[in-house]
Chain A
Amino acid sequence: MNNLKLIIQREFIARVRNRTFVVMTFLSPLIFVGMIALITWLATLNNEEVRQIAFFDETGMFTSDFKNSDNVTYINYSDLSLNDAKDSVVIKKLYGLLYIPKKGTNKELASSVQFYADDAPNISILNGIEDIIASKLTNQNFEEKGLDLNVIENSRARVNILIENFSGEKTSKMTNYVKMFFGGAAGYFLMMFIIIYGNMVMRSVIEEKANRIIEIIISSVKPLQLMMGKILGTSFAGILQFLIWVLLGSVLLFIATSVFGIEAQTPTGIDPSIALQEDHQEEIQLLLQDILKLPLGTLVMAFFVYFVGGYFLYSSIYAAIGAAVDSETDSQQFMLPIILPLMLGIYVGFFSVVENPHGTVSTVFSMIPLTSPIVMLMRIPFGVNWWEVLISILLLFGSIIFMVWLAGKIYRVGILMYGKKPSYKELYKWLKY
């Protein structure tokens, strides 16, 4: 036990003292915040650009309909000839030229409007223009049929479904997005942690092998003890790094928001044109309620359990791989059994769970130990039966014991093998030594 503590200590200090660790720990939050700031800045830059669009309207119907907005100004070129209008747009470097030809019927007109531009035009601007023309033409059609526009406008129904659960609590339509966001973030973070820190465990094993210190060490401690010490020591370093990130990240975000004046964005998905102002506020309130109503306690607990479980399961595989090879380049051939289930977990999570959190695919993958940490974390915000979680956790920890035992066997033999490029067949033989 005492030796295990010594090994954990050494591994922890070796990881933390490593220059990459220090750089990564303190630079990543800066880079992260910098990226957010950059993206936000670029987005505002883009939005501030006012695009000038010329229109050439042969019908003369739309002249008053194109109203300047925050990011588009319209210029009427209808007095020029079409060719002059085109040249003028090119010379003045306008955004594009909208050409509305004169046609016999509105139907024909609707399909013959053209937009000239060198660059592919912005979709939202095109949509805006299409809306303007479409509503004008629709209204004209109504009038032609002798319908009263006011009557139509008044009889138009606006539907906004309010969602309540059976105990009468209101929820917002955002609920699913919120659940997705929390589950997805947890699952994704878990995957990143497993890959980054699993690799560290592997590198640490390879280092001992390459340095030839391994035989000196295992004449003092049991190989399994050494392996566990490595996995634990490295995970503590990871947790420390994570804590520093959370701390630094929140400080930096705070600074960034106050300096750059970036407002904390409400999650996307609310279409402001549909929701009225008061609805909007209610939505946000409901949204906050939703977040608070998530099984946050369960989520945090589950995150911790699956985090530890998933990390142990995978890092024992990483340790076995490290013991089997002589150098990091040789390890590539064994990466597939690690990357594949992780990727599968993420894909199942983002497609299957979001679509149907309690469907067969989601349920099965939240039980299989190699994918369960990611998939179950994504399912939990949607509410999962406690016994399902229990089974999944039992399966996970059962397979950890099995995997650690298996990895320990490979590790024990592998660390003393040099100069062999092992195949899976070879590894299988080692199990029996």
Chain B
Amino acid sequence: MTNLLEVQGASKRFGSFTALDNVSIAVPKGSIFGLLGPNGAGKTTLIRIINQITLPDEGKVFLDNEPLKKEHIQDIGYLPEERGLYKSMKVGEQALYLAQLKGLSKKEAKDRLKYWFDKFEISHWWDKKIQELSKGMAQKVQFIVTVLHRPKLLIFDEPFSGFDPINANVIKDEILQLREEGATVIFSTHRMESVEELCDHIALINKSKKILEGEVSDIKRKYKSNTFEVGLLAESENGLYDELKEKFQVVPADFKTIEEQLKLKITLDQSTSSNDLLGYLSTKAQILRFNEVIPSVNEIFIKTISENE
């Protein structure tokens, strides 16, 4: 799989403050790439470098194997976290203006806007001023303007903030649809559940350095610790607990059940397989639950960050 975007060793300093320190990422074509990191880690600076808003002090950026140049602006659609629209301008005029700035002709922009406005059922907003719309409504217009020129690369910074669950879902489906149509998506957010749901690749940035990057499934495989969550029904729960503790690495677990049971997390060493554990447990108790613990992106996020502190 080829990479649509490659950032190589990008650094950016503001005075004595280093916003970005030798960061490299590779975004595969057609992927949804999650750019994660705590507040102030340097995500926005990286995104601004990709958008040519800020120039890096060091490092190179390649889009489609070409060094980033001015014309690439038309290949990128960017929805910033800090976003707004002209308050006193009409919705339609405004969308036309922004689309034309991205290089669309007036007619083309009008046709495409009509399509999107119909799709989102907001055609009657055309002559309204932004100040008459709610925040969520304005966000829809911003989303349309971001994707209107059919860019190869879409960058969304917290795209779901300000949307109610229904509209957030509409936007999510649109993002997936755009990916189907061939766009690559970079997705910066704090909402881990949407990362879990959408992203196939992630990069984690902390304190201006990249500390993790890769395919989500690979990372999860790397971070899983051969741990299993079990729910057991035994006659003497305490006795069983002590017995297991001698054989395996065991900690009490907590999950929701309707019946009383012994809830444990059992971590196996490399020589023991899950079948071994299952076989052993089946002789001791009735197994109500048995599943492998796969770390969530959220857990990986917290773990990696605290390891790097």
Cβ–Cβ contact A215 & B15, under 8 A: no
- Chain B, range 60-102, C-beta contacts under 8 Å to A: 73, 76, 78-80, 82-89, 97-98, 100-102
Given A216-B142, A429-B15, A6 and B100 contact (CB-CB distance below 8 Å): yes
> What are the residues of chain B within 8 A of A432 when measuring CB–CB?
15
Cβ–Cβ contact B78 & A213, under 8 A: no
Smallest CB gap from B101: residue in A: A220
Interface assignment of A293: CB less than 8 Å from any CB of chain B: no
Given A432-B15, A433-B14, A433-B15, A216 and B97 contact (CB-CB distance below 8 Å): no
Cβ–Cβ contact B102 & A216, under 8 A: no
Cβ–Cβ contact A6 & B97, under 8 A: yes
Cβ–Cβ contact B53 & A6, under 8 A: no
Known: A213-B86, A216-B79. 9 other contacts (CB 8 A): A14-B88, A211-B86, A211-B87, A216-B83, A216-B84, A217-B101, A219-B53, A220-B98, A416-B48
> What are the residues of chain B within 8 A of A218 when measuring CB–CB?
53
Closest 4 interchain pairs by CB? A212-B84, A215-B80, A220-B101, A211-B84
Smallest CB gap from A208: residue in B: B86
Smallest CB gap from A9: residue in B: B97
- Chain A residues packing against B (C-beta within 8 Å): 3, 6-7, 10, 14, 207-208, 211-213, 215-221, 416, 418, 429, 432-433
> What are the residues of chain A within 8 A of B189 when measuring CB–CB?
none
> What are the residues of chain A within 8 A of B84 when measuring CB–CB?
211-213, 216
Cβ–Cβ contact A14 & B89, under 8 A: yes
Interface assignment of B32: CB less than 8 Å from any CB of chain A: no
> What are the residues of chain B within 8 A of A207 when measuring CB–CB?
86-87
Smallest CB gap from B97: residue in A: A10
CA distance A6 to B96 in the complex (A): 11
CA distance A429 to B88 in the complex (A): 34
Interface assignment of B51: CB less than 8 Å from any CB of chain A: yes
Cβ–Cβ contact A220 & B73, under 8 A: yes
> What are the residues of chain A within 8 A of B101 when measuring CB–CB?
3, 6-7, 217, 220-221
Smallest CB gap from A221: residue in B: B101
Cβ–Cβ contact A219 & B51, under 8 A: yes
CA distance A207 to B73 in the complex (A): 24
Cβ–Cβ contact B53 & A216, under 8 A: no
CA distance A429 to B83 in the complex (A): 26
CA distance A207 to B102 in the complex (A): 21
A236 CB to nearest B CB, Å:
17
Given A10-B97, A433-B15, A216 and B89 contact (CB-CB distance below 8 Å): no
Given A6-B101, A416-B53, A216 and B14 contact (CB-CB distance below 8 Å): no
Q: Which of B48, B73, B101 has the most CB of A within 10 A?
A: B101
A369 CB to nearest B CB, Å:
30
CA distance A216 to B143 in the complex (A): 11
CA distance A211 to B78 in the complex (A): 17
> What are the residues of chain A within 8 A of B48 when measuring CB–CB?
416
> What are the residues of chain B within 8 A of A215 when measuring CB–CB?
53, 78, 80, 82-83
> What are the residues of chain B within 8 A of A6 when measuring CB–CB?
97, 100-101
Interface assignment of B113: CB less than 8 Å from any CB of chain A: no
Cβ–Cβ contact B102 & A213, under 8 A: no
Given A211-B84, A211-B85, A211-B87, A216 and B15 contact (CB-CB distance below 8 Å): no
Smallest CB gap from A210: residue in B: B84
Interface assignment of B145: CB less than 8 Å from any CB of chain A: yes
A319 CB to nearest B CB, Å:
17
Q: Which of A212, A216, A433 has the most CB of B within 10 A?
A: A216
Cβ–Cβ contact A219 & B78, under 8 A: yes
Cβ–Cβ contact A219 & B145, under 8 A: no
Cβ–Cβ contact A219 & B76, under 8 A: yes
Given A429-B15, A433-B15, A212 and B83 contact (CB-CB distance below 8 Å): yes
> What are the residues of chain B within 8 A of A216 when measuring CB–CB?
78-80, 83-85, 98, 142, 145
> What are the residues of chain A within 8 A of B15 when measuring CB–CB?
429, 432-433
B148 CB to nearest A CB, Å:
12
Given A3-B101, A219-B51, A429-B15, A213 and B83 contact (CB-CB distance below 8 Å): yes
Smallest CB gap from B13: residue in A: A433
8 A-B residue contacts at CB 8 Å? Answer: A14-B88, A211-B84, A211-B87, A212-B80, A215-B82, A216-B145, A217-B98, A433-B14
B43 CB to nearest A CB, Å:
14
CA distance A3 to B145 in the complex (A): 16
> What are the residues of chain A within 8 A of B88 when measuring CB–CB?
14
Cβ–Cβ contact A219 & B83, under 8 A: no
A328 CB to nearest B CB, Å:
15
> What are the residues of chain B within 8 A of A3 when measuring CB–CB?
101
> What are the residues of chain A within 8 A of B79 when measuring CB–CB?
216
B31 CB to nearest A CB, Å:
21
> What are the residues of chain B within 8 A of A14 when measuring CB–CB?
86, 88-89
Cβ–Cβ contact B100 & A212, under 8 A: no
Smallest CB gap from A218: residue in B: B53
A37 CB to nearest B CB, Å:
36
Smallest CB gap from A211: residue in B: B84
> What are the residues of chain A within 8 A of B97 when measuring CB–CB?
6, 10
Cβ–Cβ contact A212 & B53, under 8 A: no
> What are the residues of chain A within 8 A of B142 when measuring CB–CB?
216
> What are the residues of chain B within 8 A of A433 when measuring CB–CB?
14-15
CA distance A6 to B99 in the complex (A): 11
CA distance A53 to B15 in the complex (A): 80
CA distance A212 to B73 in the complex (A): 19
> What are the residues of chain A within 8 A of B86 when measuring CB–CB?
14, 207-208, 211, 213
Smallest CB gap from A415: residue in B: B53
Smallest CB gap from B81: residue in A: A215
> What are the residues of chain B within 8 A of A219 when measuring CB–CB?
51, 53, 73, 76, 78, 80
CA distance A207 to B89 in the complex (A): 12
CA distance A424 to B101 in the complex (A): 33
